[in-house]
Structure 1
Amino acid sequence: MSPYTPLHHRLAQNIVEDAVLAGYLPGAHLVTSQLAAKFQISRTPIVRALELLTEQGVLERRSNRGYFILDLDRFDREEIQSDDDRLYWRAVNDIYDECLPENFDETLLIKRYEQPRRTVARLLQRLSDEGVLRRRVGVGWKIETVLRTPEDVRKSLRYRVSIELGALAEPGYHAPREDVLAAIREQKLILSEGTHSTETFERNARFHEKLVSWSNNSFFVEAAVQHNKLRRLWEYRHFKAAKDIRKSTEEHIEILRELAAGNTAHARDLLREHLEKRMHTQDSYAPSGSAPDDL
């Protein structure tokens, strides 16, 4: 059994992502207390995540001094995947392929996946946090609405056009330059990786949520966050080719650069083109039936 829990795995990935975004170089000191504050968690799981990364050769531990970056390129997503991630993907595929009833209780999953109750409880909580499941009044769970067809996705995109363009048209819309530059750096991470992963979707979702958040309208923000949960399974299952990911990401960066220059109206026009272009590409997406490359 692995000495590291799913929490340690996720924290390790978050630490590496944060270091890349911050532009840390080899030799940079990672301070445990600062990481604990950043991720709003106690120091103990942070230390375990740092130990995991040290075993990978990403970090080195110096006696009485702490952890220092050795080589971020040694970070191996495949190596730190967890059993919980693999179980999650089995459940995602079962939900998407309608292998599970709309309403069920945890006993069904315990038997189907031959997993202990505590493992299934973590799975259910994760799917609930992502908006895939909803706890029923009394006992059991209900599968929420998911996007299943290209037409569903086109309807979703029309909804997103109204929400996201509406947010950019809000009076007083303001995108702080430092926040925009940080968002550009995150998009460039996608270009440097060149492959689809679940993190690709998360970065994509953060891009669109960030655009909306700069409207300072909480109703738009809540709508964007909730809708990203709704479209998560479709995006996870229907992988685009690397060239399509690159093109989409380049469009994100172009939109952000216009915002950084203070050209909100032009950024809004580019965003409309970006979303409307997606409406015409849904039929070319084929489900993979498996997890992305990093799982």
Structure 2
Amino acid sequence: MTTMSTESSISKQIVELVKNQSWETGTHLPAQLLADRLRVSRQPINTALAMLHEKGLLTRERNKGYFVGEGFSQGVSDIMQALGIEETTVTTAVYFRIADDLLKGELPQEFSELLIKTRYNLTASQLNAVLSRIAKEGWAERKPGYGWAFSSMLLTPDSLLQSYRLRLALEPAALLEPGFKLDPQVLEQLRTTERHLLAGGFETATADELHDRGVRFHESLVEASGNAFFIDTIKRVNRVRRLLSYRSMRQRDRYPEHCRQHLHVLDLLVKERNDEASEFMKEHLQYTLSSISKIGDILKP
């Protein structure tokens, strides 16, 4: 397996984002919005958009930018094949094995690249891809000199609950910020995602898709506050809580109610009833906190 270039990697992420969000033909793809979602600068986004346009997947309008084209009616695998981008199924599978083994206490706190490469039978490029993803998501980091270390922040069941208690203090306040303004296009994209999941999409979505959907919803609302301190904090929390969040997704019967609550928050914000939206956000996060508390056995090693 060859290492995926930055251009191809960003293109792949844009394709997956468009498909996961069910963005229809003609949807505008602002470079800054994509850069914020994928947490990269605009330069690689613009390069990737140009490549997708060249391949016929996007249309472009002068002085307006890029839009979803008819080519997105194909499945993700067909689009990737047309782009010549190899899907990283092996590294994704190993990523989840490492996460599960870590939570079961079967991996040491400090580890070498050789241990991971040997234990999971990886090539050098696969090893690099897996460790890069883990490091980017904040639950392991390279030690000074030699070796790696897993973060101890999210290795206990109570860690996920603690992260929700922090969010309970922050997110309702974000909706009350004086500069709060939610972009109408972002709002409609959030609505489309929630309706798709409510229609049964939560049953077939991958753990990645479910986690990212929740992250996008809550980060979008905090970003709308315009408060840089709130935004930085919520993004840090979401990066490091991913590990236990995956395991909590094994029971999905709470997701339809989550979707309905998300849609209600959006309805209140559209009507500029931010005080009510803030109060309901508290109820929503408390509901989630209570739901996760009841599945404690899933979170335990």
For normalisation by structure 1, the TM-score amounts to 0.75
Residue of structure 1 in register with 2:249 after alignment: 239
- Provide the secondary structure at the position in 2 that maps to 1:173: coil
1:85 maps to a residue whose letter is: T
2:25 maps to a residue whose letter is: Y
Contact 1:9–1:49 at 8 Å: present in 2 too? no
Q: Output the CA distance in 1 between the equivalents of 2:119 and 2:242.
A: 24
Q: Deviations over 1:10-59 (max 9, x none)?
A: 8557425415533229xx9xxxxxx99894444798599989xxxxxxxx
- Provide the secondary structure at the position in 2 that maps to 1:191: helix
Contact 1:238–1:287 at 8 Å: present in 2 too? yes
Residue of structure 1 in register with 2:190 after alignment: 183
Q: Which runs of 5+ in 1 are unaligned?
A: 29-34, 52-65, 290-295
Question: Which deviates more from structure 2 when the two are superposed, residues 263-272 or residues 143-152?
Answer: 143-152
Residue of structure 1 in register with 2:283 after alignment: 273
Contact 1:9–1:82 at 8 Å: present in 2 too? no
- Provide the secondary structure at the position in 1 that maps to 2:237: helix
Distance 1:81 1:116, change over 3 A: closer
Structure 1 position 287 matched with structure 2 position 295: no
Q: Structure 1 vs Structure 2: percent identity of aligned residues? A: 23
Q: Output the CA distance in 1 between the equivalents of 2:77 and 2:143.
A: 44
Q: Output the CA distance in 1 between the equivalents of 2:156 and 2:180.
A: 34
Task: State the aligned residue count.
Answer: 266
Structure 1 position 257 matched with structure 2 position 264: no
1:173 maps to a residue whose letter is: F
1:265 maps to a residue whose letter is: D
Residue of structure 2 in register with 1:158 after alignment: 165
Q: Output the CA distance in 2 between the equivalents of 1:84 and 1:281.
A: 31
Q: Output the CA distance in 2 between the equivalents of 1:86 and 1:50.
A: 31
Contact 1:150–1:282 at 8 Å: present in 2 too? no
Contact 1:150–1:283 at 8 Å: present in 2 too? no
Contact 2:25–2:70 at 8 Å: present in 1 too? no
Residue of structure 2 in register with 1:212 after alignment: 222
Q: Output the CA distance in 1 between the equivalents of 2:123 and 2:109.
A: 22
Q: Output the CA distance in 2 between the equivalents of 1:267 and 1:84.
A: 40
TM-superposed CA distance for 1:200, in Å, is 1.1
Distance 1:136 1:5, change over 3 A: closer
Structure 1 position 194 matched with structure 2 position 166: no
Contact 1:168–1:212 at 8 Å: present in 2 too? yes
Residue of structure 1 in register with 2:38 after alignment: none
Residue of structure 2 in register with 1:114 after alignment: 121
Contact 1:146–1:233 at 8 Å: present in 2 too? no
- Provide the secondary structure at the position in 1 that maps to 2:131: helix
Q: Output the CA distance in 1 between the equivalents of 2:44 and 2:136.
A: 21
Residue of structure 2 in register with 1:24 after alignment: 25
2:22 maps to a residue whose letter is: L
TM-superposed CA distance for 1:133, in Å, is 0.9
Q: Deviations over 1:146-192 (max 9, x none)?
A: 43444333222111111212222222222233322222122223224
Matches within 5 A, 1:54-133: 68-70=71-73, 82-133=89-140
Q: Output the CA distance in 1 between the equivalents of 2:119 and 2:226.
A: 45
Q: Output the CA distance in 2 between the equivalents of 1:210 and 1:274.
A: 16
TM-superposed CA distance for 1:210, in Å, is 0.8
CA RMSD, aligned part only?
3.7
Residue of structure 2 in register with 1:54 after alignment: none
TM-superposed CA distance for 1:239, in Å, is 1.7
Contact 1:127–1:133 at 8 Å: present in 2 too? yes
Residue of structure 2 in register with 1:15 after alignment: 15
- Provide the secondary structure at the position in 1 that maps to 2:168: helix
Q: Output the CA distance in 1 between the equivalents of 2:286 and 2:10.
A: 34
Distance 1:282 1:84, change over 3 A: same
Matches within 5 A, 1:136-175: 136-175=143-182
Q: Which runs of 5+ in 2 are unaligned?
A: 28-33, 35-41, 58-68, 81-85
Distance 1:72 1:117, change over 3 A: closer
Contact 2:56–2:71 at 8 Å: present in 1 too? no
Contact 1:110–1:117 at 8 Å: present in 2 too? yes
Residue of structure 2 in register with 1:59 after alignment: none
